[in-house]
Amino acid sequence: GAGVSQSPSNKVTEKGKDVELRCDPISGHTALYWYRQRLGQGLEFLIYFQGNSAPDKSGLPSDRFSAERTGESVSTLTIQRTQQEDSAVYLCASSLARGAGETQYFGPGTRLLVL
Amino acid sequence: GDSVTQMEGPVTLSEEAFLTINCTYTATGYPSLFWYVQYPGEGLQLLLKATKADDKGSNKGFEATYRKETTSFHLEKGSVQVSDSAVYFCALRNTGGFKTIFGAGTRLFVKA
């Protein structure tokens, strides 16, 4: 079946512009996660959705970052007034449920470059 | 808070060499432990996992054993191939079940 998909795959933007990143999880997966991966670094947790609600937004780096999920499906991560430090690969993952042992399936990521 | 520490890379090996990538963790409670792999140009994918102490995860010739007494989950493979060249990430998820904590990643190069 289809895996997690993300769009766009690459995005180049100018500093100060807003960007919207999209994630389509695997159908039926109730849990959805956003991570950020800076060049040469590990993954940094941003936000988690259980269904359409986000119990933990503590990973969002600043109030310029927001995310929403609708219909227990698609999620969008929005970055307002982008800064060069926002340049990274943004990864989305989904899992069937929330448990500690659940496997997370990752999308290919959106590579964001802020000039 | 919870954390994962893994050996710095890059690790360069010749084909058929033995591989160990060390991973240790700090966590309260009883986390699940994971190894993820990121091949060049591809997305992150689960390699193996272990959900309780003394469990051994294995896949594609790779193994890792959940050692609670040493808080470790070292990745091993007896004979690496060129196709194993990738970045390997150790990770944990605690019983709260939503936030996965990743190590910084270890890049492996395997030479023919």
Backbone angles phi, psi at B97, to 5 degrees: 85, 5
The tokens for A104 are 């997370």
- B82/A contact by beta carbon, under 8 A: no
Residue B51: is its pLDDT beyond 80? yes
Cβ contacts of B45 within 8 Å, gap of 6 or more: A106, B36, B37, B38, B39
Rounded to the nearest angstrom, the minimum Cα separation between B105 and chain A is 6
CA distance A6 to A49: 16
Closest partner residue to A108 (CB to CB) among B43, B91, B95 is: B43
Q: What are residue B44's DSSP bridge partners? A: B38
- A89/B contact by beta carbon, under 8 A: no
CB-based contact A115:A13 (threshold 8 Å): yes
The CA radius of gyration of chain B, in Å to the nearest whole number, is 13
Q: What are the pLDDT tens digits along chain A (115 aa)?
A: 579 999 999 999 999 999 999 999 999 999 999 999 988 778 899 999 988 898 888 889 999 999 999 878 999 999 999 999 999 999 999 998 777 778 889 999 999 999 9
Closest partner residue to A103 (CB to CB) among B49, B97, B101 is: B49
Closest partner residue to A48 (CB to CB) among B43, B99, B101 is: B99
Question: Residues in chain A, how many?
Answer: 115
A99 contacts B100? CB cut-off 8 A? no
CB-based contact A49:A59 (threshold 8 Å): no
